[in-house]
Amino acid sequence: MKIGFIGVGNMGGPMCRNIVKNTNHEVAVFDLNADALARCVEVGGTAAGSVAEAVANADVVMTSLPKPPDVEAVALGPGGIGEHARPGTVYFDLSTNSPIVARRIAEALAAKGITMLDAPVSGGVVGAEAGTLAIMVGGDHAAFEAHLPLLRSFAANPIHMGDVGTGSTAKLVNNMMAFCNMAAAAEGLMLGAAAGIDLHKLATVIRTSSGNSHIFQKFGDRALSGQYEAAFALDLAYKDLHLALELADELGVPTPAGAQTHNLMRLARGLGLGGDDSSSVVRVYEQALGRSLARPSGRA
């Protein structure tokens, strides 16, 4: 098969290279960043000069782009997939997109004979490099089944969620829960710290109790050591939560927990922490108390 891959940044890059390495497909790659592009060509990809060139002869097109408007522009804009891909092309969008936008794109492309599936991934840069990403796919079931070997060449566990948009919905719901659990973890640890409890013992107890969460396990170590280099940057978490809340707004779903977390993120961004890890929401609490989780007996 011929594959056109657009967007080879932090996430798209390793996914693209895993396809090149793990399959025999021809992969035409496009990115505005020449260095990112070069890293894919090094392992066997072919550089394309434009989106149009990358998709013109492709059987399968893939995009991995920062935000919904970027995807919409590449998919439906001038010089984009809709104009240049052939009827019969199958298109997987690997970005974290809005399900609303995903459905709009899929509908527009369907009119040109292109089958679009939203297929956001989960697992971070580490999972992308290791090929262990989870991938949640919404859209035509037969197209999903037919391309399982391709999906498995860069992701460990593809799962079909339903119609177009359901892949994105699953991703956004999961991430909203994760960020809310993060706020709960931060709030609980700060309460323990303010009460003068040994945080390492507290973390040990919670890890085996009803308060435990995936994010607490990750967050605990991080916050207790005061390490906030971005594993998943606050700005990206904020973007994902924003998309989740936009979806909730469209559907009229109350989101008291999500909205609280959203506001906490905004306050953390106001402290200049947008580029740090999303666990930096704890620093909003630290500032309000004048103490740090990492040094619970002193002042921040």
Looking at residues 213 to 252 of the shown chain, list those that interact with its own copies (rule: CB under 8 A): 213-216, 218, 242, 244-249, 251-252
In the complex, what is the shortest distance from the CB of residue 206 to its own copies, in angstroms, rounded to a whole number?
5
Binding its own copies (rule: CB under 8 A), the pick from 43, 149, 191, 227 is: 191
What angle is formed at CA 196 by the lines to CA 190 and CA 202, rounded to 5 degrees?
Answer: 65
What is the greatest pairwise CA distance in the chain?
A: 65
| Of 71, 75, 59, the residue nearest 23 (C-alpha) | 59
Interface with its own copies in residues 157-176 (CB under 8 A): 157, 159, 161-163, 165-166, 169-170, 172-176
Positive or negative torsion for Cα 91, 95, 101, 103 = positive
In the complex, what is the shortest distance from the CB of residue 26 to its own copies, in angstroms, rounded to a whole number?
32
Interface with its own copies in residues 90-129 (CB under 8 A): 99, 122
Q: Which is nearer to its own copies, 43 or 194 (CB)?
A: 194
In the complex, what is the shortest distance from the CB of residue 123 to its own copies, in angstroms, rounded to a whole number?
8
Residues in the chain: 300
Binding its own copies (rule: CB under 8 A), the pick from 52, 125, 130, 177 is: 177
In the complex, what is the shortest distance from the CB of residue 113 to its own copies, in angstroms, rounded to a whole number?
26
What is the identity of the amino acid at 48? Answer: A
Q: Is 2 a catalytic residue?
A: no
- The conformation of residue 235, written as its DSSP 8-state character, comes to H
148: left (phi over 0), alpha (psi -120 to 50) or beta: alpha
Q: Which is nearer to its own copies, 4 or 274 (CB)?
A: 274
Residue among 2, 21, 112, 171 flagged as catalytic: 171
Q: Which is nearer to its own copies, 9 or 211 (CB)?
A: 211
User: Between the CA of residue 217 and those of 35, 186, 190, 193, what are the distances in Å?
Assistant: 35, 12, 16, 17
CB 203, CB 220: distance < 8 Å: yes
Contacts of 154 (CB under 8 A, 6+ apart): 14, 15, 16, 18, 19, 22, 128, 131, 133
Distance CA 198, CA 183 (A): 20
In the complex, what is the shortest distance from the CB of residue 168 to its own copies, in angstroms, rounded to a whole number?
9
Q: Which is nearer to its own copies, 6 or 206 (CB)?
A: 206
- Is there binding between residue 258 and its own copies (CB under 8 A)? yes
Binding its own copies (rule: CB under 8 A), the pick from 61, 94, 189, 294 is: 189
- Give catalytic residue positions: 171
